[in-house]
Amino acid sequence: MTGKAHLTRRQFEKAVLTAGVAAALPGWLRASDELPADPTPYLNVTGADSLRAHATARKLLYGAAVNPALLDLEAITAGAPTNGYTQLIQSQAAIVVAENAMKWAGLRPTFDTFDFTLADRLMRFAQLAGQQVRGHNLCWHEGLPSWFKNSVTKDNARQLLVQHIQAVGGRYRGQIHSWDVVNEAVDPKDSRPDGLRNSPWLQLAGPDYIELAFHTAAQADPQAKLTYNDYGIELDTPEQSVKRGQVLLLVRRLKARGVPIHALGVQSHLQADGPQPGAGLVTLIRECAKLGLEVYVTEMDVNTHSLPGGPEAQDAAVAQVYRNYLGMVLAEPNVPVALTWGISSAHTWLNGSQEPWAKRPDGARQRPLPFDDELKPTPAFLAIRAAIDAARVSATQPAQPGAAPGDLYKPFAVPGSPNPQPAPRGPGVR
């Protein structure tokens, strides 16, 4: 939208009311008779107007995934002006997570060496900015270093996993809000009765690698909330309903076996067009509450690769998804944390990917986040802020008394779930 197109004040207020964000308008906009057609880029978004401040006022944490290499730590320590990216992360995020720097590939250049440079940089930045930090992640089948394939075997996998978690979790002991201990371990497409993905970790370390990882993480950093994180569990489509059921069965099994798990991470990589999240996810969140688990929105963004129309159409659709989704999940009292996967379209993974599910046919860049390529707020910013303002004030959930053992394995009411029962245990089954 060009800065030259103008609406009358009435036209603008009608448009904003339709978008449900009237309360977010600053005084100077309401006072003006002639307004830019899209006033969003001109909003004040810092200080008390930031996502960080609005979330904090509701006892929520809003945050974003960051690239520590782009954070201008040197300028902060020198008391000098920082770059726009750094200012945005400082002003908007109360919690940060490394998009890549704390993965195995980010930390382990060789089999027996670690490089903590970028991870330490993030920790130092967060300390200076008064932010909490999520750790992502300690065990995943992706984000592995190139040496992994030829060096990790059935003989050393368990030991390597334990050593990794001890080294990384231990280094940041007491400084991490929550660790994604295990990431994306469920995949019903692999047709295992326990729903687990047939990943290198499962093949090399055995199906109880998940329990091993959580127990080790609890010892390495007893204060961190230990999280199981996954994607593709948000929609009510048959495929995602089955996966959601398998994820719930997994966390129920872990709780029943006394594994230290405190939260479920719902990644929330959503699409602007097609089916939208609904009742199934709310049910999952409430089932987690019964287990005493918090639920975090860990990686939200909105993909418009197949949405027709120009930037305005993208912006409107993306904002609508944020409004509906965060409005729905932040109404649940055990959802105290929401992060977007990046802060602006300038650095989103969706604009770095050549995959067909990321590339738009018109070649336009995606706008999946609250700020755009020029680090100006998008309509999604207002949608996120309005959803935060409307959220139920959340408090850390007290652990619920455990369900009766018979209830723990009650089939989750998901049509088509191939595994309503826990995986068998016994000799030969790890």
User: Annotated catalytic residue: which of 99, 184, 234, 294?
Assistant: 184
Q: How near is the Cβ of 99 to ligand G3I at its closest, in Å?
A: 5
User: Annotated catalytic residue: which of 211, 234, 299, 332?
Assistant: 299
List, as one string, the DSSP characters of 42-97: GS--SGGGSHHHHHHHTT-EEEEEE-GGGS-HHHHHHTPPPPHHHHHHHHH-SEEE
Under the binding rule (CB under 6 A), the answer on residue 99 touching ligand G3I is: yes
Under the binding rule (CB under 6 A), the answer on residue 322 touching ligand G3I is: no
Helix axes 9-19 and 311-329, enclosed angle (nearest 10): 50
- Compare residues 65 and 316 and give the one whose CB is closer to ligand G3I: 65
* Binding-site string for ligand G3I from residue 170 to residue 189, where x marks contact by CB under 6 A and - marks none: -------------x------
* CA-based radius of gyration for the chain: 22
The Cβ of residue 316 has, within 10 Å, a number of other Cβ atoms equal to 18
Selected range binding ligand G3I among 51-59, 95-103, 185-193, 213-221, rule: CB under 6 A: 95-103
Q: Which position among 46, 100, 306, 324 is part of the footprint of ligand G3I (CB under 6 A)? A: 100
Selected range binding ligand G3I among 97-105, 115-123, 188-196, 241-249, rule: CB under 6 A: 97-105
299 is catalytic: yes
On whether the CB atoms of residues 201 and 139 are closer than 8 A, the answer is: yes
- Compare residues 143 and 327 and give the one whose CB is closer to ligand G3I: 143
- Compare residues 65 and 391 and give the one whose CB is closer to ligand G3I: 65
Distances (CA, A) of 115 to 99, 234, 265, 405: 16, 35, 26, 44
- Compare residues 76 and 105 and give the one whose CB is closer to ligand G3I: 105
Q: Which position among 299, 315, 332, 372 is part of the footprint of ligand G3I (CB under 6 A)? A: 299
Cα Dmax for the chain: 77
3-state secondary structure of 316: helix
* Binding-site string for ligand G3I from residue 103 to residue 142, where x marks contact by CB under 6 A and - marks none: x--------------------------------------x
Q: How near is the Cβ of 150 to ligand G3I at its closest, in Å?
A: 18
Shortest-Cβ-distance residue relative to ligand G3I:
349
Under the binding rule (CB under 6 A), the answer on residue 349 touching ligand G3I is: yes
- Compare residues 112 and 142 and give the one whose CB is closer to ligand G3I: 142
For residue 407, the one-letter residue type is: D
Distances (CA, A) of 242 to 88, 113, 198, 227, 418: 38, 40, 17, 21, 8
**Residue carrying the six token digits 């088509």:** 416
Residues 6+ apart with CB under 8 A from 361: none
Tokens representing residue 262 in the block:
């405190």
Q: How near is the Cβ of 256 to ligand G3I at its closest, in Å?
A: 27
**Residue carrying the six token digits 């003989």:** 155
- Compare residues 201 and 231 and give the one whose CB is closer to ligand G3I: 231
Q: How near is the Cβ of 269 to ligand G3I at its closest, in Å?
A: 6
Tokens representing residue 172 in the block:
């940041």
| CA of residue 131 relative to chain centroid, distance | 16
Q: How near is the Cβ of 136 to ligand G3I at its closest, in Å?
A: 6
Which residues of the shown chain bind ligand G3I in the complex (CB under 6 A)? 99-100, 103, 142-143, 183, 231, 267, 299, 349
